[in-house]
């Protein structure tokens, strides 16, 4: 009897044969190109069973392959049948190279231009030119075959007051219009969901874990904006909230309004906008300027109100995390070793005590023992959740979406007595974490220049981790926010004052254990006595780091001083906020360490 995955793969192959197409590319992304997508757009999951937030599949009439990055190399083997799909590394074996090597000259490759970025399609056309033919589809074949597709979930539109966001929408729109005009454009197509919500000071929950609304927008150089969303979804005071100059259109009107830009100069971000938008504009003769979404940098650099909110929510989140870790230590001491699902639910219950919590910022990674070796492990995607075991490590990566900010924290907890090897690797990762947190750097520094600081101690021992060191974080928006990052990728975006980025070096031993230490850091200006001021990081996260995992002989005096200073700030900010039964645990876990 065929499995569901095999039946769906066969259905795609039948479609390929019928349409005289040799291969179909199925990315994880939907038309909005976000990292997280609503259930009704999870096409890659429908086809393969893979639940990760990044990946791509290729199906030919005789072969199939699934491509994932280093976060998912273990997970994909547990979810996608090896007898149906070949496993490939997204970076080491690029999908387009795979196509060229596995197909014949002149074969036809089909894609849905709505689920690929404009830059990806342009690169594909260059890479395949003269070898393979790229066919752009009007309808995605998975949409035709997905008979039990979930109904889209449309959430309430939340209007964000000025005392929460710090700047009126009308002022933001004028700033963005100035940037559009400065690029020589008449209009800009805005497709990143968090950019639209930031620009209009609104939020929603159309996508699980992301406070956004499925919509599009066009900003014009005079400051007016066209908003594409079902008008019935908007509260009656929406117009007064956003101010003059915002017109509402149904989503179906997007093509019509784009086609009316004939003869205009239109800015399109080739990385955040799908290829379909650009194709429509090019077909009607508009001049398209490839340029970054003008909202990216203004949104990433938080204003004083947003920073105040981020600091406040991190203290409350620290109370929830500390309460959970205190509870966990007590349970282990009593010999009660819970499973990963119970632990995730318990942590959620502590966060839910905060009335400002709207949602989690992502599905909690609750990983016991060897499961933590999978960077983005999800116990809900396993046959059964893993169980804590003595003398091991437990990794919990979690966060909350609060009305005043977004949190993301990872702690690796000793369950019993960790091995010497676990302690060594944790300490090497901690040294990298401290090096990033203590960094001082001039204006204009890029994230990839900081990344080496996090990896240097692991590298010196012949180790590394296959993910970035840090990502941007939004203000009650995407937990993974562009454009800046801290990683090996040479992204030419400077770190600027007001940005919030994660600091999360780690180490992962397959079938052994996983380690990650993550705080969120605010980029702040540091005065100097030199020729110029520098930038540095201020840790926002407030939660103890498990000292049971540290070999203090491997820490320098400066690193030990950082740890003591950080724990002092945790104590100062949380001791009056946590319950009386948590205070003794908090005191014990934050007290200064002396040699």
All structural domains of the chain, each given as residue ranges with its CATH number in brackets, are: 5-145 (3.40.350.10), 158-299 (3.40.350.10), 301-590 (3.90.230.10)
What integer pLDDT is reported at residue 372 of this predicted model?
Answer: 96
Please state the separation of Cα 251 from the chain's center in Å: 25
Q: What is the pLDDT of residue 49?
A: 95
Say how far apart CA 356 and CA 333 lie, in whole Å: 32
Q: Which pLDDT score, from 0 to 100, does residue 285 have? A: 95
Would you state the pLDDT for residue 377?
85
pLDDT at 186: 98
Mean pLDDT of 17-31: 97
Exposure b/e, 29-52, CB count within 10 A at least 16 = b: bbbbbbbbbbebbbbbbbbbbbbb
Pair of tokens at residue 392: 């091991």
Region for 408 from its dihedrals, namely left if φ exceeds 0, alpha if ψ lies in -120 to 50, beta otherwise: beta
What are phi and psi for residue 387, nearest 5 degrees? -115, 140
Residue 273 CA from chain centroid, whole number: 17
In Å, what is the CA distance from 248 to each residue of 194, 195, 265, 413, 433? 18, 17, 22, 50, 46
How does residue 383 score in pLDDT terms, banded at 50, 70 and 90?
A: confident
Contact at 8 Å (CB) between 504 and 225?
no
pLDDT tens string 512-571 = 999 999 999 999 999 999 999 999 999 999 999 999 999 999 999 999 999 999 999 999
The residue-averaged pLDDT of 249-269 equals: 97
Q: How far, in Å, CA of 40 to CA of 206, rounded?
A: 11
Average pLDDT of the residues of the chain:
96
Give just the sign of the alpha carbon dihedral 575, 578, 579, 585.
Answer: negative
What whole-number distance in Å separates Cα of residue 472 and Cα of residue 522?
Answer: 10
Mean pLDDT confidence for 167-178: 98
Q: Indicate whether 378 pLDDT > 90.
A: no
Residue 161 has pLDDT above 90, yes or no: yes
Phi and psi at 454, nearest 5°, equal -75, -30
Average pLDDT over residues 220-244: 97
- pLDDT of 191 > 90? The answer is yes
> Which positions ≥6 away from 135 have C-beta within 8 Å?
21, 108, 109, 110, 111
pLDDT of residue 2: 74
Q: What is the mean pLDDT of residues 20-34?
A: 96
Residue 417 has pLDDT above 80, yes or no: yes
DSSP structure string for 305-349: HHHHHHHHHHHHHHHHHHHHHHHHHHHHHTT---BHHHHHHHHHH
Phi and psi torsions of 24, nearest 5°: -125, 135
Q: What's the rounded Cα separation, in Å, for the pair 221 and 178?
A: 7
Residue 375 has what pLDDT? 84
| pLDDT at residue 75 in the model | 83
DSSP characters over 139-194: S-HHHHH-TTPPPPP-PPPEEPPHHHHSS-HHHHHHHHHHHHHHTT-SEEEE--HH
Tens digit of each residue's pLDDT (9 = 90 or more) over 468-489:
999 999 999 999 999 999 999 9
Q: What's the rounded mean pLDDT across residues 262-277?
A: 96
Looking at the predicted structure, is the pLDDT value of residue 74 above 90? no
pLDDT greater at residue 264 or residue 129 = 264
Question: For 217-224, what is the mean pLDDT?
Answer: 97
- For residues 428 and 423, give the distance between their C-alpha atoms in angstroms, rounded to a whole number: 9
Mean pLDDT of 389-398: 98
φ, ψ at 402 (rounded to 5°): -105, 160
- 287-340 tens-digit pLDDT: 999 999 999 999 999 999 999 999 999 999 999 999 999 999 999 999 999 999
pLDDT at 70 (0 to 100) = 78
At 382 the pLDDT is: 79
Which strand (E) or helix (H) includes residue 357?
Answer: strand 357-360
> According to the model, what pLDDT value does residue 69 have?
87
* The two structure tokens encoding residue 446: 């890029």
The answer to whether 478 and 272 have CB atoms below 8 angstroms apart is: no
Cβ count within 10 A of residue 333? 9
Give per-residue pLDDT as tens, 276-301. Answer: 999 999 999 999 999 999 999 999 99
Average pLDDT over residues 405-414: 98
| pLDDT at site 420 | 98
Bond from prior residue into 222 cis (ω within 30 degrees of 0): no
532 burial via Cβ count (<10 Å: 0-12, 13-18, 19+) = exposed
Q: Is the pLDDT of residue 450 over 80?
A: yes
Largest CA distance in the chain: 75
- Residue range 93-114, pLDDT digits in tens: 999 999 999 999 999 999 999 9
Nearest CA to 471 out of 501, 432, 516 is that of 501
Residues recorded for the chain? 595
The model's confidence at residue 134, banded by pLDDT at 50, 70 and 90, is very high
511 CB burial (10 A radius; 0-12, 13-18, 19+): exposed
Do the Cβ atoms of 24 and 139 come closer than 8 Å?
A: no
Q: Tell me whether residue 358 is exposed, middle or buried, using C-beta atoms within 10 angstroms of its C-beta: 0 to 12, 13 to 18, 19 or more.
A: middle
Output the DSSP codes for 179-245. Answer: HHHHTT-SEEEE--HHHHHHHHTEE--SBTTB---S-EEEEETTS-EEEES-GGGS-TTHHHHH-TT
Q: What is the pLDDT of residue 318?
A: 98
């Amino acid at each position: 009897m065929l499995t569901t995955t095999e039946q769906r793969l066969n259905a795609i192959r039948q479609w390929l044969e019928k349409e005289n197409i040799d291969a179909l590319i199925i990315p994880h992304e939907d038309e909005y190109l976000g990292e997280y997508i609503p259930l009704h757009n999870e096409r890659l999951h429908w086809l393969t069973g893979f639940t990760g937030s990044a990946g791509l599949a290729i199906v030919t009439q005789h072969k199939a392959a699934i491509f994932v990055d280093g976060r998912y190399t273990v997970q994909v083997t547990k979810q996608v049948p090896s007898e149906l799909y070949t496993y490939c590394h997204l970076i080491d074996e690029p999908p387009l190279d795979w196509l060229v090597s596995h197909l014949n000259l002149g074969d036809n490759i089909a894609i849905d231009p709505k689920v690929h970025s404009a830059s990806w399609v342009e690169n594909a056309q260059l890479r395949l030119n003269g070898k393979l033919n790229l066919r752009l589809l009007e309808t995605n074949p998975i949409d035709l075959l997905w008979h039990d597709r979930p109904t889209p979930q449309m959430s309430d539109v939340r209007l964000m007051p000025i005392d929460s966001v710090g700047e009126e929408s009308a002022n933001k729109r004028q700033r963005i219009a100035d940037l559009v005009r400065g690029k020589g454009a008449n209009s800009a197509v805005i497709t990143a969901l968090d950019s639209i919500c930031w620009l209009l000071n609104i939020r929603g929950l159309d996508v699980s874990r992301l406070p956004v609304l499925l919509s599009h927008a066009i900003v014009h150089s005079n400051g007016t904006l066209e908003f594409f969303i079902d008008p019935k979804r908007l509260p009656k005071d929406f117009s007064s909230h956003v101010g003059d100059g915002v017109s509402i259109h149904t989503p179906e009107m997007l093509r019509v309004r784009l086609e009316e830009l004939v003869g205009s100069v239109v800015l399109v971000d080739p990385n955040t906008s799908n290829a379909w938008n650009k194709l429509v504009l090019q077909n009607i003769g508009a001049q398209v300027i490839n340029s970054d979404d003008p909202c990216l940098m203004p949104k990433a650099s938080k204003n004083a109100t947003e920073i105040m909110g981020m600091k406040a929510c991190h203290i409350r989140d620290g109370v929830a995390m500390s309460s959970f870790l205190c509870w966990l230590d007590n349970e282990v001491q009593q010999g009660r070793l819970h499973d990963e699902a119970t632990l995730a639910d318990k942590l959620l219950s502590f966060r839910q005590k905060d009335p400002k919590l709207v949602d989690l910022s992502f599905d909690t990674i609750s990983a016991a023992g060897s499961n933590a070796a999978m960077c983005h492990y999800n116990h809900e995607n396993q046959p059964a959740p893993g169980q804590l075991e003595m003398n091991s490590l437990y990794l919990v990566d979690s966060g909350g979406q609060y009305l005043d900010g977004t949190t993301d924290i990872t702690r690796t907890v000793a369950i019993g007595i960790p091995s010497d090897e676990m302690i060594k690797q944790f300490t090497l990762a901690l040294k990298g974490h401290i090096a990033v947190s203590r960094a001082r750097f001039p204006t204009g520094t890029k994230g990839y220049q900081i990344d080496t600081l996090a990896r240097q101690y692991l590298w010196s021992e012949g180790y590394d981790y296959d993910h970035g060191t840090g990502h941007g974080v939004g203000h009650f928006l995407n937990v993974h926010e562009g454009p800046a990052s801290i990683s090996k990728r040479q992204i030419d975006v400077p770190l600027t004052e007001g940005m919030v980025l994660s600091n999360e070096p780690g180490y992962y031993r397959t079938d052994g254990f996983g380690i990650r230490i993550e705080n969120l850091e605010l980029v702040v200006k540091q005065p100097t006595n030199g020729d110029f001021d520098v930038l540095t990081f201020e840790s926002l996260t407030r939660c103890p780091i498990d000292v049971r995992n540290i070999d203090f002989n491997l820490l320098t005096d400066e690193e030990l001083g950082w740890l003591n200073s950080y724990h002092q700030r945790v104590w100062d900010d949380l001791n009056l906020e946590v319950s009386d039964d948590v205070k003794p645990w908090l005191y014990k876990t934050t007290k200064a360490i002396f040699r």
